[in-house]
Structure 1
Amino acid sequence: MHDPWQDPDLPAATRAAELLSRMTLEEKLAQLVSLWPGSDTGEEEGDDVAPMQGELGSLPPDPAALLPYGLGHLTRPFGTAPVDPTEKCRTLAEDQARIAQANRFAIPALAHEECLTGFAAWQATIFPTPLAWGASFDPELVERAAALIGASMRAVGIHQGLAPVLDVTRDPRWGRTEETIGEDPYLVATIATGYVRGLESTGIVSTLKHFAGHAHSRGARNHAPVSIGPRELADIALVPFEMALRDGGARSVMSSYHDLDGQPGTSDDWLLTTLLREEWGFTGTVVSDYFAVSFLELTHRVAGSPAEAAAAALAAGVDVELPAQRCYGSPLLKAVQAGEVPEALVDRATLRVLTQKAELGLLDTGWSAEPPALTDGEGPVDLDPPQLRDVARRIAEESVVLLANKGTEAGGLPLRPQPDARMAVVGPLADDEAPMLGCYAFPRHVGVSHPELPIGVDIPTVLEALRGELPEARVEHVTDPADAAGAQTCVVVAGDRSGLFGRGTSGEGCDARDLELPDGQAELIDAALATGVPVVLVLLTGRPYALGRWEGRLAAVVQAFFPGEEGGGAVAGVLSGRINPSGRLPVGVPRHPGGQPWSYLAPPLGQVGDASSIDPTPLYPFGHGLSYTTFDWQRAAADAATVPTDGGTTVRLTLTNTGDRTGTEVVQLYLHDPVARITRPVNRLIGYTRVELEPGETAEVRFDFHADLTAYSVARGERVVEPGDLELRVAASSGDVRHVLPMALTGSERRVGYDRRMRCETEVVRAA
């Protein structure tokens, strides 16, 4: 015998409602909070945070006194401290069994983890950072990576992943630029949707963050206020969330820290309820960013107490307070009991949490605390197996961008060292694992607090990888650039070390004053150039930096965005020529450290002109990237030059590899709207595809264009497709247009919404 809410044959919402009807207020509220075992979050004066710091982050042996009413979430059981994966898998199972035993419905917690660069656990595979995903222009590969990441998390008992980040880069001085996918909403949307699909395919709940507009902060400062209009919000910030929810199937959204024109995101009922749920039809859970509910009181000052903060967040639509209970605990309980907060709001949030637990099988009669890694596995849990490293390597290789190259004969790339030639490698980052890793990679996020332990995975440095790549050369690491004199080539490795809140040059809370390379690295490059030896600059960064100072002076420039544990080999492979570079810039590289940044999506008055003495034109534009082969772009055409406002056509291009080696071209389709009702970007990406061709091979690239892709917002909640003349631009980058195809939209103006066509499907047909 079992109760209806335990029956897996019933709909999840029905089961959740049945269980909810049996719960006391205390039991309902317990489902809206989390515990963070082993963290520094403990009981403080005036707080209602239960201290749950057991050995290596596990629960104490008898949590019944602390968890008599159950528990909604369990925060980062693997990601809080370095723990052996096999041992942690066992202790998590034991914790879940105790959590279930401590409440009368035997409901376990929903365990969540970070997974922005892979499962954020000790000894787990470290993938390239999201900015590198964007540089790959390969949503299918990112989807494959997410599926492997999700499977590894699910196997050890994790249910929810706090990824991906859908913020669109607006000012790369922002420390979290490395977490974004790029400066274009279409690129961010398509890549992120691939990640969401992969994660959700394994049963892991994908959590979209940070909803919404977090990257638009004033002065690129973390948590800073955001002042953007409804059109910029709709056409830039919200587009990736729309696609990831509608086409990706994400089941959770995270509220953001910032305020939007004075309204904190965590208490914005228009954003979290009217738009997200009523207009978009979202039925999953909204979780707070860590401590964001408390910040309504402590930083935003829109609440005078934890109870007021809880009331505001709950009313707006935040279902779960993360990472630990402070406001949704006894302060909210007392407010409901006093009639200050309607219990119906608690019921609404609890129903959503229980529905998600039912979907995950956590309410089933046969639920077991034993995760697959323990019930099916033999031997130790391996979080860094070959198949994950292989996909991490593939993303790293596809994401390396060749920005500039004078060629081998001029000392550029590919490197062709003479027998026993001396190659000088300069810079402290050349033999350091840190510049491979983003701030959400476990070694940079948590591991820095445990220097006594090894990193946990094998991370070859650029120096190590280059020595393996070029065994015939004498690759020497020199600390003084002057010592490079007399070498055949000098490779300067520069960039960032990620960290948190000022403990790095990139990462959350590590915002930059300008876009000058940090830590005196510009002078290092100058000193290397002064030797007269050809200099190849390798950048391992979390953001783009200004490179105009060396324009035309470097033999080659290679850009990698925190490429993960396999990044050293990817960079070395590009330098040697083993890998033909195919990465493209997901964000423009500025010419000057000031006068920038400005997204390529600027309208005419945001471009260079007589109205200002400042030229914001990037040195290397969005979408830019070079190859070691050449491609011929011919016969670009649209099947129809006139298209109704509710119709579409096919855009075609014949592409031929005219070089002597296999290579990949990234063909991009941009939209130019000469006359619109409001100012519009001069160029806007609406489609792209990677095309790999053998030497001499030809293929036809096809873009399925639909008029919905021209839609833009004219007012809050009003997006239109209007008739008129357009240009479709087939391009190698936003600054390198190869073919312009005039087009006219005819018929009546159409109002479109959440169900509009958002994606330009592509097809590559190879010549027989």
Structure 2
Amino acid sequence: MSLADKIAQLNMPVVLPGEPGSSAGATPADQERYARGGFQHQNLVLGPGGGFFGLVNESLFGSFDPEQPKTPKEQAERHNALQKLALASEHRIPLLQISEGTHGSIGPGSTIFPEGLGLGATWSPELVGHVYGVVGAEARAVGIHAISTITAELNRDPRYGRAIWSFSEDPYLTSRYVEALVPAAQADLHTGAVVSLCTFPAESPNVGGLEGSSIELGERELRNVHLPPWRAGSAAGSLMTEAGEQTIDGIPVHGSPKYLTEVLRDELGFRGVVIANGFETMITDRVATTPAQAGALALDAGIDIALAWHAAFLTGLVEAVRTGAIDQTLIDRAVRRILTLKERLGLFENPYADPARAQAVVNQPAHRRIALQAARESMTLLRNEGGLLPLHHRRIAVIGPNADDARNLLGEYSAWPTFHAVPTILDRLKATGRQITHAKGCATTGTDRSGVAAAVKAAKNADVAVVVLGEEVKGGYFNPGRTNGELADIASLDLTGVQQELLEAVHHTGTPVVLVLVNGRPLSVTWAAEHIPAILEAWLPGEQGAQAVADVLTGAVDPSGRLPITVPRSVGQLPMYYNSKGARARAGTYVDIPSTPLYPFGHGLSYTSFALSNVRLSADRITGTGRTEIRAEVRNTGQRTGTAVVQLYVTDDESSVVVPEIQLRGFAKVSLAPGAHASIKIPVRADDLALIDAGLDRVVEPGTFTLRVGTSAAALPHTLQLTVI
């Protein structure tokens, strides 16, 4: 292979129409030229390309509607046509197709699941595995080989727009999801899609919660808190990851052999390819002065694939080889990794998708049922004073900007168009047979109050008002009204626009109010927590979200979601997470507000009640390589079927370094009929008690540990002692 052939294998460009800087290569003719070889970028004529990123994302996440969106069958046919061109070239190397799969394949018509914290709120790694099994199968059916933006990062600053993709603030819970979803999505690598975990090793918590701002973390904090999900992903067989674009303690990840080779490959055992999209940050941060220097640093660090058209990995690499800044063996290393992945995917033997199968697989009824289950289990009841829910009322006023908006239920990075009907919350409540009146009231943003009067009138004439508020995420990057998502960081966690005024106006009618939140980040709804009797956190619940909301509101389904993130009272409390250290965990109040969260990590209510009894350890002394388990009895003491989520938190009573006051180290989720009981077991391994010591080694120190069992990080009535010898 010539140098141009090799460099082409390292580039899998973003070809999204309308994407800034991507016009070169965005047309079908350009794509075909790149696939067969002969595409010219500046003065570099490239051999047959390595593949593409986001080829099926022709609407740019719904930023605009394509004139003729491709069906799953047509997506497969397009991928096949490009493969045929690549395989007719001299070296007969198949293309690798990568696309987003955050909470569903991005191909139009694909099944759309709850996003980020919605999946995190299920507290069910098994269910999350089922979800990503579908995502991988639907992606591969149309010819996508790797699904990206599956976020192993923690959500440690909800102001950050890209945190919308994260499952939780907690490393243990996130690790359980990652280790379940990786093998489920990848399947046997011939029927599933490779999981690209994002973004290594972290892009948050960044200064100010702003996109691209630096991360100021100590080495111990990074290893102890942020690396566990990546360790779990590598152990589960993840074969792709994306390099972070930020600097960490002044070190640009894109140019760091320490992070991308020593930590990722040597320490965590990663054996896949690293994709990247932030070469220019090394130049803007003045670590490199030219694209050639940036490309050389990135290649040496361990980056294998460039997304979009980056001069650093095109003409920059040619220049770096010409001047001797890099040895061509580094290019060979990256090419070898890419070809190895293509071989493991079986692309040399079977590069084509089956168009008829694609049409049959995508969004089939079984997949929609999993989406409904995930949406139902994501529903998190934060407050239910006086037992207002489930609704027994006949006349219901449905109010708010997200009540009759199906697209806001779908979240960011979702397939568009859907090719199948997606109902709104208003639609599904109407289908319950109740007497429904509707008033939008206001938009999610802006100052237009003209609809508030109609909302007040509707509430006065109803037995109960369901007010559906929250965020706007639809419309991709180019929707100026977006309040969350990539490139949509925010400085406040309060309700945007005049939504708070609408909520207060409806409350003042005297009609009981149920607040339903549709959002991808925790919102500081402090006033509502004091004045609104019932609050349901619906997150971004996906295409079946409206049905799930209606099911929970009417009592057809018990709310079983639990918070995977702490809900603060004010943005002024950030950073705020349950597993803080020392004085912060034991802090008193601020002058103006309490220091405690509005709702704690792990919190969530049910329509029934549970009793936890006979909590004990199978062994209260273990070795540094041993294990024990929490055993307990759970009984449903109420009148309805419901789901309990029993949680285990650990405190290290004496440690050589300061560790968080409490850390989640296990949980059990069990559904019970009225009066029924079940025995639960939560395993505790010595390895779960490990810490990163002063020498940055991961060790299990002997001593005593306090184990606390309960229903949230703030409700832990049962205490046990464990000794590690």
Same fold (TM over 0.5): yes
The CA distance in 2 between the partners of 1:115 and 1:397, in whole Å, is: 21
Is the CA contact 2:567–2:600 (under 8 Å) kept in the aligned structure 1?
yes
Q: Which residue in the other structure is 2:265 paired with?
A: 277
Q: Which residue in the other structure is 2:609 paired with?
A: 630
Change (3 A) 1:568 1:610: closer
1:12-42 CA-partner distances (Å, limit 9, x unpaired): xxxxxxxxxxx23222222111134453569
Deviation at 1:425, TM superposition (A): 1.5
1:117-148 CA-partner distances (Å, limit 9, x unpaired): 20112222111102111100111111111111
The CA distance in 1 between the partners of 2:586 and 2:528, in whole Å, is: 21
The CA distance in 2 between the partners of 1:611 and 1:382, in whole Å, is: 54
Is the CA contact 2:151–2:166 (under 8 Å) kept in the aligned structure 1?
yes
1:457 equivalent to 2:420? Answer yes
The CA distance in 2 between the partners of 1:462 and 1:323, in whole Å, is: 38
1:89 partner amino acid: A
Which residue, 327, 337, 345 being the options, matches 1:360? Answer: 345
Which residue, 87, 95, 106 being the options, matches 1:100? Answer: 87
Which residue, 689, 692, 696 being the options, matches 1:717? Answer: 696
Q: Which residue in the other structure is 2:354 paired with?
A: 372
The CA distance in 2 between the partners of 1:33 and 1:663, in whole Å, is: 51
Q: Which residue in the other structure is 2:414 paired with?
A: 441
The CA distance in 2 between the partners of 1:610 and 1:702, in whole Å, is: 35
The CA distance in 2 between the partners of 1:552 and 1:569, in whole Å, is: 28
Q: Which residue in the other structure is 1:9 paired with?
A: none
Deviation at 1:520, TM superposition (A): 2.1
Q: Which residue in the other structure is 1:254 paired with?
A: 242
The CA distance in 2 between the partners of 1:154 and 1:87, in whole Å, is: 14
Deviation at 1:638, TM superposition (A): 0.6
SS in 1 for 2:204: helix
Change (3 A) 1:26 1:636: same
1:344 equivalent to 2:306? Answer no
1:172 equivalent to 2:158? Answer yes
The CA distance in 2 between the partners of 1:341 and 1:245, in whole Å, is: 28
1:237 partner amino acid: H
Q: Which residue in the other structure is 1:476 paired with?
A: 438
SS in 2 for 1:476: strand
1:676-717 CA-partner distances (Å, limit 9, x unpaired): 222221211001121011222111111121121111112363
1:240-275 CA-partner distances (Å, limit 9, x unpaired): 0100110x2100111011110111111111010011
Which residue, 706, 710, 722 being the options, matches 1:731? Answer: 710
1:27 equivalent to 2:5? Answer yes
1:245 equivalent to 2:231? Answer no
SS in 2 for 1:327: helix
Deviation at 1:314, TM superposition (A): 0.3
1:654 equivalent to 2:633? Answer yes
Change (3 A) 1:658 1:345: same
The CA distance in 2 between the partners of 1:692 and 1:59, in whole Å, is: 53
Deviation at 1:482, TM superposition (A): 2.0
Which residue, 392, 397, 411 being the options, matches 2:371? Answer: 392
Change (3 A) 1:64 1:70: closer
Deviation at 1:51, TM superposition (A): 2.7
The CA distance in 2 between the partners of 1:73 and 1:206, in whole Å, is: 16
Q: Which residue in the other structure is 1:761 paired with?
A: none
Change (3 A) 1:41 1:219: closer
1:699 equivalent to 2:685? Answer no
Is the CA contact 1:111–1:159 (under 8 Å) kept in the aligned structure 2?
yes
1:612-648 CA-partner distances (Å, limit 9, x unpaired): 5463311210000010111110000012222223322
Is the CA contact 1:467–1:475 (under 8 Å) kept in the aligned structure 2?
no
Mapping for residues 475-554 of structure 1, pairs under 5 Å: 475-477=437-439, 479=441, 480=452, 481-483=455-457, 484-498=459-473, 499-500=476-477, 503-554=481-532
Q: Which residue in the other structure is 1:18 paired with?
A: none
The CA distance in 1 between the partners of 2:514 and 2:332, in whole Å, is: 61
1:149 equivalent to 2:127? Answer no
Please report the TM-score for the alignment, with normalisation by the length of structure 1. 0.86
Is the CA contact 1:609–1:615 (under 8 Å) kept in the aligned structure 2?
no
2:653 partner amino acid: P
1:91 equivalent to 2:67? Answer no
Which residue, 684, 690, 696 being the options, matches 2:669? Answer: 690
Is the CA contact 2:158–2:522 (under 8 Å) kept in the aligned structure 1?
yes
SS in 2 for 1:123: coil
1:398 partner amino acid: E
SS in 2 for 1:682: coil
Q: Which residue in the other structure is 1:17 paired with?
A: none
Is the CA contact 2:74–2:355 (under 8 Å) kept in the aligned structure 1?
no
Q: Which consecutive unaligned segments of at least 5 residues does structure 1 have?
A: 1-22, 444-453, 747-768
Q: Which residue in the other structure is 1:266 paired with?
A: 254
Change (3 A) 1:56 1:728: farther
Question: How high is the sequence identity, in percent, across the aligned residues?
Answer: 34
Is the CA contact 2:12–2:50 (under 8 Å) kept in the aligned structure 1?
yes
The CA distance in 2 between the partners of 1:191 and 1:549, in whole Å, is: 33
The CA distance in 2 between the partners of 1:525 and 1:337, in whole Å, is: 65
The CA distance in 1 between the partners of 2:471 and 2:718, in whole Å, is: 37
Is the CA contact 1:656–1:699 (under 8 Å) kept in the aligned structure 2?
yes
1:113 equivalent to 2:92? Answer no
2:460 partner amino acid: A
1:584 partner amino acid: R
Is the CA contact 1:133–1:191 (under 8 Å) kept in the aligned structure 2?
no
Q: Which residue in the other structure is 2:204 paired with?
A: 215
Please report the TM-score for the alignment, with normalisation by the length of structure 2. 0.91
Deviation at 1:384, TM superposition (A): 2.1
Is the CA contact 2:467–2:514 (under 8 Å) kept in the aligned structure 1?
yes
1:229 equivalent to 2:221? Answer no
Is the CA contact 1:723–1:745 (under 8 Å) kept in the aligned structure 2?
yes
Q: Which residue in the other structure is 1:139 paired with?
A: 125
2:686 partner amino acid: A
2:669 partner amino acid: R
Change (3 A) 1:438 1:57: farther
The CA distance in 2 between the partners of 1:88 and 1:727, in whole Å, is: 55
Q: Which residue in the other structure is 1:15 paired with?
A: none
1:557 partner amino acid: I
Change (3 A) 1:627 1:38: closer
Deviation at 1:727, TM superposition (A): 0.7
SS in 1 for 2:102: coil
The CA distance in 1 between the partners of 2:695 and 2:468, in whole Å, is: 47
Is the CA contact 2:36–2:47 (under 8 Å) kept in the aligned structure 1?
no
Deviation at 1:149, TM superposition (A): 1.5
1:271-325 CA-partner distances (Å, limit 9, x unpaired): 100111122222211111x3x123322x333211111111010010001111335
Q: Which residue in the other structure is 1:414 paired with?
A: 390
The CA distance in 1 between the partners of 2:202 and 2:14, in whole Å, is: 27
- Count of aligned residue pairs for this structure pair: 691
Is the CA contact 2:154–2:168 (under 8 Å) kept in the aligned structure 1?
yes
Moved more, 717-726 or 50-59: 50-59
SS in 2 for 1:235: helix
2:160 partner amino acid: W
Deviation at 1:657, TM superposition (A): 1.1
Mapping for residues 598-617 of structure 1, pairs under 5 Å: 598-610=576-588, 613=591, 615-617=594-596
Deviation at 1:340, TM superposition (A): 1.9
1:587 equivalent to 2:565? Answer yes
Q: Which residue in the other structure is 1:75 paired with?
A: 53
1:465 partner amino acid: R
Which residue, 172, 176, 179 being the options, matches 1:193? Answer: 179
The CA distance in 2 between the partners of 1:50 and 1:697, in whole Å, is: 62
The CA distance in 2 between the partners of 1:653 and 1:58, in whole Å, is: 59
Is the CA contact 2:141–2:361 (under 8 Å) kept in the aligned structure 1?
no
Is the CA contact 2:300–2:330 (under 8 Å) kept in the aligned structure 1?
yes
Q: Which consecutive unaligned segments of at least 5 residues does structure 2 have?
A: 40-44, 60-65, 442-451
SS in 2 for 1:672: strand
1:581-612 CA-partner distances (Å, limit 9, x unpaired): 10000111122343344111111311353585
2:685 partner amino acid: H
CA-atom RMSD, angstroms? 2.1
Deviation at 1:230, TM superposition (A): 1.0
SS in 2 for 1:435: helix
The CA distance in 1 between the partners of 2:604 and 2:213, in whole Å, is: 33
